[in-house]
Amino acid sequence: MEALRIESTHKTPRVILDPENGIFEFSGRSIPEDSVGFYTPIFAWLEEYSKQPLPVTHVRFDLEYFNTSSSKNILEVLKRLEAIHAAGHEVRVTWYYDEDDEDMEETGQDYQALLNLPIELSVKVQS
């Protein structure tokens, strides 16, 4: 299976889904023109990956800001990861937030509460 790589723009995140090493990344901003259009290929890819996932998948969310329409799509991404996890293939999600960004921390907590998936909240190291 081929990796999915989407480079970031000033309004959409960088997405890396690497099936070889089981390392996924979502970073940057997410306020796309058409959030369903942006996330649909990602859902399709995850659907495919869920058929033969690695024993452990590491997922890194490192987002700067996003709107609620992206929040719904991120929840969908996480739900697909939850299904992989429930099928016995470990998925470890790390949700990074800036220590000054209490809203991003709260969003991480929202996802923790809504899903049966280990989501670790982690303060981003300042560059």
Partner 1 sequence: MVATESELLHEPALSYAYPLYRNMLDNSVVFIYNGPITPDLIVDVLNLVEYRLEDSREDRRISKKLFNIMVESFTIGDDVERGGAVLLVRQLPYLYAVSVGRRVRGDSVYAIKSFIDWVNTCSSEELRDAYHHLLQGKATHSIPPHIGGVPSISILDLARKSHDFLHYNFEYLDDFESFFSLEARIRKNNS
**Residue ranges that bind partner 1, judged by CB under 8 A:** 10-11, 29, 31-33, 65-69, 71-72, 75, 98, 100-104, 106, 110, 113-114
Cα–Cα distance, 59 to 94 (Å, whole number): 6
Do you know the residue count of the chain? 127
Closest CB to partner 1 among 18 and 98?
98
* CB closer to partner 1 out of 12 and 57: 12
Residue 8, judged by CB atoms within 10 A of its CB (0-12, 13-18, 19+), counts as middle
Residue 93 CB, nearest approach to partner 1 (Å)? 17
**Residue appearing with tokens 């058929």:** 51
CB of 48 to partner 1, least distance (A): 24
Cα–Cα–Cα angle for 103, 72, 26, rounded to 5 degrees: 70
Among residues 22 and 35, whose Cβ is nearest to partner 1?
35
Sort strands 4-6 and 23-30 into parallel, antiparallel or unpaired. Answer: unpaired
Pick the closer one to partner 1 by CB: 48 or 101: 101
Q: To the nearest whole angstrom, how small is the minimum distance from the Cβ of residue 59 to partner 1?
A: 19
**Cβ partners under 8 Å of residue 26, min gap 6:** 13, 14, 15, 59, 60, 61, 62, 63, 74, 77
Least distance CB 21 / partner 1 (angstroms): 31
